[in-house]
């Protein structure tokens, strides 16, 4: 997985092409990412709360944690 913006730009430039990168192309997951950023900003102002998200998958999932989870 290409993590840094510089490395992604380098790979696209090396091949005189473009690189489209996302940890997940699902519309629902990307909406969740956006809502999560909004809620994080709101909850950051409330130190009396401790917020966390648990990622749960079926027992046969091969890539745990998933690339989507690593995004955060």
Of 52, 58, 60, 61, the active-site residue reads 61
Of 15, 52, 57, 60, the active-site residue reads 57
Residue 57: active-site member: yes
d(CA 32, CA 28): 6
Rg (CA), the chain: 16
Residue 21: phi and psi, rounded to 5, are: -125, 135
Residue 52: active-site member: no
Please give the positions annotated as active site: 57, 61
């Amino acid at each position: 997985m290409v993590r840094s913006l510089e490395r992604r730009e380098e790979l696209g430039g090396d091949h005189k092409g473009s690189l489209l990168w996302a940890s997940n192309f699902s519309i629902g997951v990307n909406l969740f990412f956006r809502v999560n950023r909004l809620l994080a900003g709101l909850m950051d102002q409330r130190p009396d709360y401790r917020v966390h998200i648990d990622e749960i998958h079926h027992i046969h999932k091969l890539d745990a944690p998933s690339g989507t989870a690593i995004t955060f």
